[in-house]
Each structure stands twice: as C-alpha cells, then as structure tokens.
Amino acid sequence: HNLEMKHLPGADPELVLLSHRYEELERIPLSDMTREEINQLVQELGFYRKETPDALVPEEFQFAPAKLLPTLLPSQAPTAASKTPPKRGKEEHPDL
C-alpha cells in the first residue's frame, strides 16, 4: 500500500521515498539487495503489505509509512506574530 513501482530501462533500481507533497526525501539503492532483503526493508520502513491486491487496508495504515502531524488546536495554531514554530517530536518529519 502506498508503494508504486516504475521500471526505467537501463537505470539502476532504487527506492525513492517521497513526502506527501511528492518531494524527494531519500534514495536507497537496491542493486545489491535480494528480493527478500527488499521486502524486509519495505516492511521496516512501515509500508503495509495487503494479503490480496483488492484487500482493504486497515485505517492505521492508510497513510503509512508517513506519520500524520497532530492536529493543532486553535489555541496552538501559530499566528503571523508568532516567531516560534509548533513543537514536534524527534521522530516526526515536518513534511509527513
């Protein structure tokens, strides 16, 4: 789920991780990896593997592997006068 494969003739295989805005976050070369290693990598990155192509994806994996940002309450929303951005946990990427 949320993984798309594109075959580019002549190009070395690599996994390109994108933000929800389709901005490139990271490239991982796959040339030296076995199919099993690639499957394990994708699973470790948080992608969900459906049992069948038409199977439903559990709600908690709908946006996997991206982590949702916590919803800001009106009192927490930054204003134009505010100079400090909202605090985020160490593991949360601002684009995800």
Domain boundaries, given as residue ranges, for the chain: 1-69
Q: Please state whether the peptide bond connecting residue 9 to the residue before it is cis, i.e. omega within 30 degrees of 0.
A: no
Determine the average pLDDT of the residues in 72-86.
48
Q: Which residue has the tokens 């038409």?
A: 54
pLDDT at 76 over 60: no
CATH 3.40.30.50 fits 1-69, yes or no: yes
Give pLDDT, residue 21. 84
pLDDT at 55 over 50: yes
Give pLDDT, residue 2. 85
**How far, in Å, CA of 49 to CA of 38, rounded?**
13
CA-based torsion, 23, 24, 25, 30: positive or negative:
positive
Judge contact between 20 and 96, C-beta under 8 A. Answer: yes
pLDDT at 84 over 80: no
Q: Which amino acid is at 88?
A: R
